[in-house]
Structure 1
């Protein structure tokens, strides 16, 4: 203890080698995580080294090291719990965002249907066959006995109107 308190690296290394495995086993028993246990071991010895000036030569080294290890395990649990809480908070926010996105999409969809109702009947029919039924312009032209260019013109006018009314800049 006296040598460690004085900053003797050799004495500290001997203490490290003597206690490393014991502290590792202690930490691993609580964490069940090799990396976390190794981090705890390192933190214990960093703490001992950084506070070596406060060591009392009559103190029980086992007690000091294992008390520090216990504190480090507690710190690890607090950090783990905080990380889990942050992950849970992020997941809740993501779920709320998804619900808001779904709600917003439903509002947009309802508004689009309202706008579609304001189109002339033939233009609305052509637009809906194309966009919602997936028919090609040629198929719509054959189905309605009109020219393909008339179908394309009606779709173009419908899109232009809907974009203007809805303030859309991306294609519908």
Structure 2
């Protein structure tokens, strides 16, 4: 046990000094542990993988701070937790923005301006033109705010398939709106469907 602690201390200290080989060893030795931490917070393998990469990038970026760390396991847990919290805040902001934009444009449609009805009907047509399962995945993601895992469970498909449906739906909607839509509105939609 003492030998492992010495090896770990040496490894982290070498990383703090900028040793790239030590950094590679650190990633190899601790990636499963960091992934498990991230999975605990996100509950989704895809996001846990992304966050694991983010954690190790952050470790390298701020490697000079590693000399101050006393407990490596606690430190990795805290860095993983902070990365997950930042991620969840980003997701929440994006969902809030989508909902605000959708509500804003939906409320404008209640006026009698023909242009408002025109662009809303263009969006509805673009969404309706999607294959049924893709359309359903897109609506569940963008309007209901469900995660890929929640959609996957509901539709009985994998989260990667959900992701692919949403990516393809966004591409199809953009193409449709470029052909039939209004350019000013497209600029706003670009952010909504990112």
TM-score with structure 2 setting the length: 0.49
CA contact (8 A) 1:48 1:65 kept: no
Larger radius of gyration: 1
Tell me which residue corresponds to 1:32. Answer: 43
Runs of 4+ that moved beyond 4 A: none
Task: Tell me, yes or no, if structure 1 residue 19 matches structure 2 residue 60.
Answer: no
Tell me which residue corresponds to 2:99. Answer: 88
SS of equivalent residue, structure 1 residue 56: helix
Tell me which residue corresponds to 2:109. Answer: 98
Q: Which runs of 5+ in 1 are unaligned?
A: 106-172
Tell me which residue corresponds to 1:56. Answer: 67
CA distance in 2, matches of 1:16, 1:30: 20
SS of equivalent residue, structure 1 residue 55: helix
CA distance in 2, matches of 1:17, 1:53: 20
CA contact (8 A) 2:41 2:81 kept: no
CA distance in 1, matches of 2:69, 2:35: 25
Q: How many residues align?
A: 103
RMSD of Structure 2 on Structure 1 (CA): 1.7
Q: Which runs of 5+ in 2 are unaligned?
A: 1-11, 115-194
User: Could you say if the C-alpha distance between residues 58 and 88 of structure 1 is closer, same or farther in structure 2, counting changes exceeding 3 Å?
Assistant: closer
The Cα shift of 1:17 comes to 1.2
Q: Deviations over 1:95-147 (max 9, x none)?
A: 112212xx345xxxxxxxxxxxxxxxxxxxxxxxxxxxxxxxxxxxxxxxxxx
